[in-house]
Structure 1
Amino acid sequence: MHPLLEDGIAALRAGELVVYPTETFYAVGADAFSPLAMRRLFQVKQREPGQPVGLIAADITMAFSVAREIPIDARRLADAFWPGPLTLVLPARDDLAEELTGADGVGVRVSPNPVARALSAGIGRPITATSANLSGKPPASHLEEARAGLGEKVKVYLEGGRLTASAPSSVVSINASGWKMMRVGAISEDQIAAALK
């Protein structure tokens, strides 16, 4: 496992930020249930409030734990594409931080990257998965790109090599009345539709 993984887990537990690799680009991880960590995340990224922050969870059970309800189609898509580059936006639990939720709910995915999953498993909760860049800048494929943008304000940087994704995760909003594609990424709308047939 990654030589700095324990440092990353300790930093997250302390409310600090960690840059880590995912299956798409480098992400900034914070404990999604720590108000201090969430404030720090928005300050470091210079991110405007009102843009919900997506989450990465260690497994399907943890991912679904942030949802108020789990539509059957969400289970189907999770079975088809997780671990993988699909973010499901689900009806959010009432006790989630407002930074995590938008009009459609809370976005979460299970990453196939073992470092991403191990960080979430290590603190026992989902972690943030916002891209490791200043808001409005391109996502980071190399750790050095993330470090150049975010600098010393991030406590731990976890190397994951060059990440070669051509697209971010796809985002699908799903509730009892159906589903809609919110962002086409690594998984196409046709693939989503086929999995739900």
Structure 2
Amino acid sequence: MRSAIQILRRGGVIAAPTETLIGLLADAHSKAAVEAVLAIKRRSGEETLGLIAPDLESVASLALPLEGKARELAERHWPGPLTLVLDAKPGLHPALIRDGAVAIRIPAASPALDLCRAFGGPLTATSANLRGGPSVASTEALDPAILQAVDGILEGKSPGGAPSTIARVRGDRIEVLREGAIAAEALTSGSSPR
């Protein structure tokens, strides 16, 4: 874990299990680190990268304060596989923002959460695959190009299955952008996750 933190502090990229799939983790506040993730994924930067945070304080470093329905959802589903699309604070890398918003979650128990907490700040958390390639649930199944490009790997497996659910909250309206590990109905009805 210590070497992984040193890699992150130098602007490097780590492949690690999250509570859903294997992700590419890098310092969200480092332009060089975000650029490294984009290069590994062979993305142009037009697609936004999702983020994970160890706590609400780190979420506040990226997004405007959680209020109303957004706060309710965070309290009910974090830590867990719910990504909230929140109004972004200024100064973030453009690859982290779409339409003035940032996609962030506090993940459930996983090596990625442990690393995020030990690092003490938000990390990128995009799937560890090449653009258009399949997502993987085990570091052993990583594409050779990913293995060669990352600066470190936290070995392990994710449960696999569905990715995080992505939701945008505007006022009292919840818009589910991608249904994943948490059913859309659980967000809109106020019931517990699956």
Unaligned runs of 5+ in 1: none
State the TM-score, normalizing by the size of structure 1.
0.91
Letter in 1 for 2:169: I
1:1-12 correspondence runs (5 A): 5-12=1-8
Change (3 A) 1:69 1:60: closer
Which amino acid in 1 is paired with 2:187?
I
> What CA distance in whole angstroms lies between the structure 1 residues aligned with 2:174 and 2:61?
19
Structure-2 separation of matches of 1:191 and 1:180: 12
Alignment partner for residue 164 of structure 1, among 155, 159, 165? 159
Percent sequence identity over matched residues?
34
Where 2:168 maps in the other structure, the secondary structure is strand
The Cα offsets for residues 4-57 of structure 1, whole Å up to 9 and x where unpaired, read as x11111100000100011010000001111111111111111013111101011
Count of residues in correspondence between the two structures: 191
The correspondence for 2:84, drawn from 82, 88, 94, is 88
| Alpha-carbon offset, residue 68 of structure 1 | 1.9
User: TM-score, structure 2 length as denominator?
Assistant: 0.92
Q: Which sits farther off after the overlay, 65-74 or 84-93?
A: 65-74
2:141 is the counterpart of 1:145? yes
Q: RMSD in angstroms over aligned alpha carbons?
A: 1.6
Question: Partner of 2:23 in structure 1?
Answer: 27
1:47 paired with 2:43, answer yes
Render the CA deviation track for 1:91-135: whole Å, top value 9, x for unaligned.
000111111011151011111134212222223210000000101
Structure 2 letter corresponding to 1:49: G
Moved over 3 A (4+): none
Closer, same or farther in 2 for the Cα pair 1:64/1:74, shift >3 Å? farther
Q: Greater CA deviation, 148-157 or 114-123?
A: 114-123
User: 5+ residue gaps in structure 2?
Assistant: none
2:125 to 125, 129, 136: 129
Task: Pick closer, same or farther for the CA change 1:178–1:71 going to 2, 3 Å.
Answer: farther
The residue identity in structure 2 corresponding to 1:138 is: P
SS of the residue 1:12 aligns to: helix
Q: 1:65 & 1:33 partners in 2: Cα distance?
A: 9
CA distance in 1, matches of 2:63, 2:188: 22
Contact 2:174–2:188, Cα closer than 8 Å, also in 1: no
Deviations for 1:159-194, whole angstroms, at most 9, x for unmatched residues? 123x23321000001233632111010111110012
AA partner of residue 8 (structure 1) = A
